[in-house]
């Protein structure tokens, strides 16, 4: 989406949102309550029409969506197997494979209302994955799940991304946990207030102002080595000995942060964006 905004009930809910998700990329939206994360997702999925700007999706894009919560009538005797096939035809073996991928194949015959919070999330993710989505959208998938469970959920999302090569858009409040599995973070507060790799964003003043004490100080998620360093004259020395004028990473090249990109370019090499 380009410069997308939504105006409703006399105010802008979000404005000026630039967001693109590449196949195989995990993008996470973080931001305080009411900052427009769900609204951004609705715009992206076409559930809301932008009041300004553009939103475009690939034609016939298969989107797997994991909603924030599911209202199930607790009196309804709905089994997991039935729930998985409620809205679309799915062979038994595909259903079991999807449940197996998220570690809940043993619950196929269990009633939905008996599931724990973590099991419910895994069933919802399995249902989204059974579509073989090209884009997987998850609204707080580890909500109400303890820390070990949340880490496991983010790990299985990363594994699914690897297997399917799908793009992933996550909404999350688990700043520390989700960041280890994220290529790029957008911090929202009605607009995109900062953006970049998790390491870069966690150090940005705008992010730290928004999240205050909640913000992890210096993330322990340095998954990749710095592969280049900035020479005193501003040029960039790469690990293979070549020298270029700029680091030319995504986060350094395309936008308007008032930060010095030299400090914020840790790991775009993984995403194939360097040079
Ligand atoms: N259809 C709508 N009409 C008017 N206002 C809306 C509508 N949908 C959401 N809002 C308002 O827009 C703002 C952003 O809401 P949104 O749900 O996108 O935030 P969020 O970042 O997802 O919040 P949370 O973390 O609490 O889920 C809120 O103030 C909300 O009350």
Query: Which of 184, 199, 217 is at the close of a domain?
Result: 217
Task: Tell me if 264 sits within 8 A of 196, measured CB to CB.
Answer: yes
Test site for ligand 1: of 6, 12, 17, 35, most ligand atoms within 8 A of the Cβ: 35
157 & 270 share domain: no
For ligand 1, atom 29, the nearest C-alpha belongs to 34
Task: Tell me if 269 sits within 8 A of 227, measured CB to CB.
Answer: yes
User: Does residue 274 register a pLDDT over 50?
Assistant: no
Q: What is the pLDDT of residues 145-172, one digit of tens each?
A: 888 898 899 999 999 999 999 999 999 8
Question: What are 17's strand-pairing partners?
Answer: 4
Range(s) of the domain holding residue 55: 2-217
Token output for 46: 């076409």
Helix (H, G, I), strand (E, B) or coil at 190: coil
Query: Which of 174, 189, 217 is at the close of a domain?
Result: 217
Count of structural domains, the chain: 2
46 or 76, which is more confident? 46
73 & 209 share domain: yes
What is the distance between the alpha carbons of residues 92 and 98, in angstroms, rounded to a whole number? 10
Question: What are 26's strand-pairing partners?
Answer: 168
Test site for ligand 1: of 39, 51, 170, 172, most ligand atoms within 8 A of the Cβ: 39
What is the distance between the alpha carbons of residues 173 and 136, in angstroms, rounded to a whole number? 18
148 & 170 share domain: yes
Cα distances from 121 to residues 18, 32, 63, 82, 245, in angstroms, run 29, 22, 17, 16, 47
Report pLDDT for 61: 94
Task: Tell me if 14 sits within 8 A of 151, measured CB to CB.
Answer: no
Cα four-point dihedral sign 183, 25, 156, 31: positive
187 & 67 share domain: yes
Report pLDDT for 259: 34
CATH number for 34: 3.40.50.300
User: Does residue 199 register a pLDDT over 90?
Assistant: no
Report pLDDT for 219: 47
pTM: predicted TM-score of the whole model, two decimal places: 0.76
Q: Where does the pLDDT of residue 13 fall: very low under 50, low under 70, confident under 90, or very high at 90 and above?
A: very high
For ligand 1, atom 17, the nearest C-alpha belongs to 38
The angle formed by the CA atoms of residues 176, 253 and 18, to the nearest 5 degrees, is 65
In the chain, % of residues over pLDDT 70: 77
Q: Which atom of ligand 1 is nearest to the CA of 29?
A: 21
Q: What is the pLDDT of residues 240-265, one digit of tens each?
A: 777 777 655 433 333 333 333 333 33
264 & 236 share domain: yes
Neighbours of 221 (CB within 10 A): 19
Mean pLDDT of 174-201: 86
Q: Where does the pLDDT of residue 213 fall: very low under 50, low under 70, confident under 90, or very high at 90 and above?
A: low
Residue listed under structure tokens 């989204």:
128
173 & 238 share domain: no
143 & 241 share domain: no
Q: Which atom of ligand 1 is nearest to the CA of 9?
A: 4
Helix or strand holding residue 169 (H, E): strand 167-171
Gap from CA of 33 to ligand 1 centroid (Å): 8
User: Does residue 215 register a pLDDT over 70?
Assistant: no
* Alpha-helix runs per DSSP H in the chain: 37-45, 80-84, 92-101, 117-129, 147-164, 175-179, 198-203, 205-211, 250-253
95 & 230 share domain: no
């Amino acid at each position: 989406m380009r410069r997308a905004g939504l105006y409703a009930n006399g105010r802008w809910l979000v404005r000026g949102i630039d967001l693109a998700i590449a196949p195989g990329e995990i993008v996470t939206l973080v931001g305080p309550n009411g900052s427009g994360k769900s609204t951004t997702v609705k715009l992206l999925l076409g559930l809301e029409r932008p009041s300004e700007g553009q939103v475009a999706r690939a034609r016939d894009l298969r989107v797997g969506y994991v909603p924030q919560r599911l209202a199930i009538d607790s009196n309804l005797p709905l089994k997991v197997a039935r729930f998985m096939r409620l809205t679309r035809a799915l062979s038994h073996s595909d259903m079991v494979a999807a449940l197996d991928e998220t570690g809940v194949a043993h619950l196929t015959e269990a009633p939905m209302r008996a599931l724990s919070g973590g099991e419910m999330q895994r069933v919802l993710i399995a249902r989204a994955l059974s579509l073989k989505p090209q884009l997987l959208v998850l609204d707080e998938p580890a909500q109400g799940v303890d820390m070990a469970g949340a880490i496991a959920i983010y790990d299985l999302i990363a594994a699914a991304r690897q297997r399917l090569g799908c793009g992933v858009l996550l909404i999350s409040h688990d700043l520390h946990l989700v960041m280890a599995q994220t290529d790029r973070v957008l911090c929202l507060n009605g607009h995109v207030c900062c953006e970049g790799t998790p390491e870069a964003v966690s150090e940005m003043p705008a992010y730290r102002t928004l999240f205050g004490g909640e913000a992890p100080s210096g993330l322990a998620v340095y998954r990749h080595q710095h592969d280049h360093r900035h020479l005193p004259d501003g040029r960039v020395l790469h690990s293979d000995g070549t020298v270029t004028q700029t680091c030319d990473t995504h986060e350094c090249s395309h936008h308007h942060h008032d930060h010095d990109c030299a400090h914020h370019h840790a790991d775009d090499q993984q995403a194939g964006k360097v040079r």
